[in-house]
Structure 1
Amino acid sequence: MILSNKRDFQLTSKNKKSHYLRVGFSLKREIFFVAIGSIIGGFTMHLPRILFDITTGTQYLITLLVLARVVGSDSPEVGFALHITVATIIGIVTGIFLHKVIKFNISKIKNGLIYGIFAGVVVFAVFAIPVYQLFLGPNMVELLAELDPEMTFLEASELVNQNFVSNLIDFFFMHIIWGLTVGVLSSLLTRKAGANYRCHICDIEFSKISTYEKHVENVHENPSPSLNRILILGGGYGGVGVLKQLQEAFQSDPEVSISLVSKDNFFLHTPLLPEMATGMLASRHIATPIRAFCKRARYYQAKVEQIDLNNNKVTITRTLDNQKRDLEYDYLVIALGGKTNFFGNKNVEKYALTIKTLGDAITLRNHIISILESADQEEDPDVLSKLLTFVVVGGGFSGVETVGEINDFVRESAEKFYRNIDVEKIRIVLVSAAEKILPEIGDLGKYAFEKMIEGTR
């Protein structure tokens, strides 16, 4: 969600102390709301003039006919539709101006009225008056003379000039009606569906103010015994996946509290680590802040020290200063991920580089570059052969992806930057305990093997 400027509001209610909350507004939604208000305003601003045409015999219909001729039509309905289209465009422009330039808070009805009057006056002065003087007036003279053969062009011109002031007054009040409609509707829609309300204590947000108020009452003022506390351990695919579903299911339920604990404050797209290790992607492309997902949940960056299933309690340690804290729960989700399995091979465990974290990917990249630098200077063929041999252990998704990226990275780097390295002497080895790679995907594994052999020449 794109957030515009944020404001602090103080809410007060009966028998409650005041609480400060952070209110965020969606720029896209509010521009949409202003556009909707402008379209409806385009209808409402015409109603008084049409009513006057019916009751007093005024000729506002001629204005619509002049507008219709802009697109080559003689139908007043076309002129009306054109005016609605222009109102929509103006609404979008004013919506962008509202948020990008003056950063005006339209969520309050009073502010909506102020903005509506301001927008109506500005559009009248900047748009309506020039259009009337340069286009509507001259074309209205021509249309009057055409509709009434007995009226000369001079008489039609005098009639338009006589009605100039009254027409401008009509246009002024029409644009005020348009502006007030835009302001009030935009304000109401923003309050209803355009804002999110964030508790500054828990750092979680709600889509409805009523849910926020219930949260304050149930959690901070009078803790409710019926409050369901859900605790998620882990910020990987499992933890974040569950978090998204829980937030969607309980967005408006004040009886549910959600918390997430992860030692890293970012969600890592681990399948893309090989691309980062070889420089195809930057770290920012595969890491997303955990807090970006925690809309309805509270986040703790900490390590899980102990899980007490008997007492429904988890002990966590804060990363910065190792301060311990107990978190109680009613429902526990354990999604802490796994560790690299060396299957009892002590030598691999001792000497191999893993690729599990951002740090692992950076270490691997630096190590490969260091090896190439040393190989470029090495004259002993035996030592050079060892330096130019790269071994990846594991024939699953991670191993195959890693060996492919290393192969491309090493060979392309040697060709472009390391002139003393013979590319034909580079050996890329994949070690797998199974008879074939990628057994998870069946026959496609055989196809992948053939392509990999082609790529390694």
Structure 2
Amino acid sequence: MSSDNEDKSDRFGTVKVGFGAGLVAGCALFSSFLSIDQQLNIPHGTFYKTIGIPMGVEGFGAVLIGLMMHITVAALIGIAYNLSASYWRTFRIITIPKGILTGAVTGAIVFSLAFLPLHTLVMMPLLENALESSDTLINILPKEKEALLTLIQGNDFVLWYSAFLHVLFGAVLGLMSGFILHDRYRNVTRIRSFW
């Protein structure tokens, strides 16, 4: 009976570690995602509006929706990453360098399997429809529309930069998880002090 309680406690601890590490990594890269706007010479927050506007929110509310979705998904990725690493012995985050490596791989996987299809097949078409449609329920100002069109035209840059930032997010996630989980795996024998 106590083993069952220990398993639940250990799982809950892993979820807390993933949640915290995901939040830290998501917040650490918040300004980097804002730099997409700066690199394309458009107002700050325009990238986050690509999430909010298709959801029917305009202005600063669209930026807040985009930011909240970004932070929420970062926490969920952190939880999934830590739970997965705790179940498969090969991927356990027993050292910080291993955490960074597996985190970077996780970031690349998240980019290719989640961000790329969602951005390309869902968000961009919805945004283009919102910009082209004159009978839309949201009011997009001409300056805002121009910035969003610039973002759509620079979509190749956005994708490359986002790929880099997702890998960086994963590396920070693995680093933070490695820091937090260091004591848990202190007595685990390591192969060449890494694996």
Q: Same fold (TM over 0.5)?
A: yes
Q: CA deviation at 1:47?
A: 1.4
Alpha carbons of structure 1 residues 140 and 63: separation in structure 2 relative to 1, 3 Å: farther
User: Any idea what SS the aligned residue of 2:91 has?
Assistant: coil
Alpha-carbon separation, structure 2, partners of 1:137 and 1:56: 17
The answer to whether the 8 A contact 2:23-2:71 is kept is: yes
Shift of residue 46, structure 1, vs aligned partner: 2.4
CA distance in 1, matches of 2:36, 2:16: 32
Match of 2:75 among 88, 111, 117: 88
Of structures 1 and 2, the one with the larger relative CO (CA 8 A, separation 6+) is 2
What is the alpha-carbon distance in structure 2 between the residues aligned to residue 46 and residue 178 of structure 1? 10
- Unaligned regions of 5+ residues in structure 1, if any? 4-25, 199-457
Q: TM-score, normalised by structure 1?
A: 0.33
Please say if 1:132 is aligned against 2:119.
yes
* 1: CA distance, partners of 2:67 / 2:48: 6
Q: Does 1:100 align with 2:87?
A: yes
* Deviation readout 1:206-235 (Å, 9 max, x if unpaired): xxxxxxxxxxxxxxxxxxxxxxxxxxxxxx
The partner residue of 2:102 within 105, 111, 115 is 115
Q: Counterparts of 1:135 and 1:174 in 2: how far apart (Å)?
A: 20
CA distance in 2, matches of 1:163, 1:55: 10
**CA distance, structure 1, for counterparts of residue 151 and residue 157 of structure 2:** 12
Is 1:148 the equivalent of 2:149? no
Mind listing any 5+ residue stretches in structure 2 that lack a counterpart?
1-5, 133-139, 189-195
How many residues are treated as equivalent by the alignment? 171
Distance 1:44 1:143, change over 3 A: farther
Larger Cα Rg: Structure 1 or Structure 2? 1
Deviations 1:268-288 (A, max 9, x none): xxxxxxxxxxxxxxxxxxxxx
* 2:111–2:166 CA contact under 8 A, matched in 1: yes
Please give the per-residue CA displacement for 1:69-105, whole angstroms capped at 9, x wherever unaligned: 4654331122201221122122222222222246522
**Preserved CA contact (<8 Å) 2:36 2:161:** no
Give the 5 Å matches for 1:311-326. Answer: none
Contact 2:104 2:167 (8 Å CA) reproduced: yes
Larger helix percent: 2
Q: CA RMSD in A?
A: 3.2
Shift of 1:126: 0.4
Asked if 1:172 is matched to 2:156, the reply is no
What residue is the counterpart of 1:39 in the other structure?
Answer: 23
Query: In the TM superposition, what is the alpha-carbon distance from 1:186 to its structure 2 partner?
Result: 0.2
CA positional deviation for 1:129 = 0.3
Separation in 1, partners of 2:156, 2:125: 15
Identity, % of aligned positions: 19
Contact 2:37 2:47 (8 Å CA) reproduced: no
Deviation of 1:53 after TM superposition, in Å, equals 3.5
1:272-421 correspondence runs (5 A)? none
- Give 1:195 deviation, angstroms: 4.5
